[in-house]
Chains A and B, each alone.
Chain A
């Protein structure tokens, strides 16, 4: 279990991490989500004792990181793929890590095999592709057979096969009862792997919730209506006591009523409908709304609009990865394959 309490990191005037308090529960995959620059990596570095917090503490099984005897046996981390000496072979890279924590030599060949680098174990790391570097970094994280694993943006820059591999690895690690803490800036990625979700924006905690709750709360389903007789339709809906949200482009959105009910109501008043469609907001949309105010680097073209408005409204809901996830687990593998 990892406990963060009031964790804060300031660089001069700028606050990178602002009073973060949450707990990473054992035995599940916790997704650590936030837009770029939200402070995810800084938080992870502080968890590993690499950066000193300005205020607050991180405890791993009740201890500070520096108090852990042979920390690689408690917690394995992949921070960035190339945090290694390029002139050293994969085997020697892992060997020196193993020796520093009293991990038997045999474990080096084991983890090399797990990540599929046995064939290149005597090759220098500088010749490795990003994917191979990522695998070697993961081998280092697995080396001490730790109860807790931490991955910072593990799928960044990987090809579909590598993404698929990492996703399955994290699932199998959690299935084996390990604590997995993984950061990402993609809701879609989290929806596929995480059981629990911690969302931050500009260093502040925005959400700390189970994935199921997040989906329940945020996957709003509604009906979209479009009519050339918009004003009359609005009147009819109001009279019927139905709450309407006026969306852009002359469309109306209605919560909590079935399309059948709305269609029949319109027909009863002889209204022409150009659109009557059930919609489901994607998790990606929900995430973007959650972090909209805290996104650090807005696109310059339209600084006032929230990110959701940037995409054509008619297309987005069906295309979000979160939506595809909700349609059943069968669609997961399409993306990873």
Chain B
């Protein structure tokens, strides 16, 4: 089984369903739109900020504020790419055509991740430039130290979150169950646990909280994470690798 054939097949699959365009365009619109809105609000509120907050004001990270919501669309994308095989019954046809389950899963993940990366790059650059436009005098630019790393990092972050969702979906197989766990986790559980000091020590190792670090140029005032941007990215990578590995092992073991 030539992997190239399977990659081409997965590309046909992914582009021939509506949910792909729907979820990915939603990710762009929400991330960029909300980022612009929050950037504009931050510009107006800047004068009311405390001195400490003024010193740690991070115009790059502000322009990525929309990602917290936009990543949910990326999660839906990742979940549907994998779990729709199960919910539709397509999986039996797919695995009869490609019985090598590693080739099947990782080709699918590779194609979906590549597409997610392209969309995420568009999103992060658009969110950055349009966000800076809204920030007016408080803006930064791509040439400033660490800014390009943060912008590229934001794209990588979104891609990895989508990949993490693919791994979870491969484990759970049901789109509803996967979304029912991932959405509340990323939208509620993680942010809440991350803002309560008692649980923060644990929450800072969650995939999203660790991954967010790479898109910050300035550390927030109350930040005491024991890792830097690359360390955070590495933690997220470990999560992604673990999710995909467990997903694969289960796919390999289970009856289709």
Contacts and interface: CB of A to CB of B under 8 A. Distances in A.
Interface string A69-97: 11110000101101111111100100111
Nearest to B107: A100
Interface of A: 45, 48-52, 65-66, 68-72, 77, 79-80, 82-89, 92, 95-97, 99-102, 140
Given A50-B92, A65-B99, A100-B94, 13 more contacts: A49-B95, A49-B96, A50-B256, A51-B255, A70-B5, A72-B97, A79-B92, A85-B13, A85-B90, A89-B16, A96-B16, A99-B12, A101-B97
A71 B5 contact: no
A84 to B, nearest CB: 5
B89 A84 contact: yes
A68 B89 contact: no
A2 to B, nearest CB: 14
20 contacts: A45-B256, A50-B255, A66-B99, A80-B92, A82-B89, A84-B90, A85-B17, A86-B88, A88-B13, A88-B16, A92-B13, A92-B16, A95-B12, A95-B16, A97-B93, A97-B97, A99-B8, A99-B12, A100-B8, A102-B5
B19 interface: yes
Contacts, number: 94
B99 A77 contact: no
A8 to B, nearest CB: 14
Given A50-B95, A87-B17, A88-B13, A66 B88 contact: no
B195 interface: no
Interface residues of B, number: 31
A138 to B, nearest CB: 12
B1 A69 contact: yes
B218 interface: no
B6 interface: yes
B3 to A, nearest CB: 10
Contact of A100 (B9, B16, B85, B253): B9
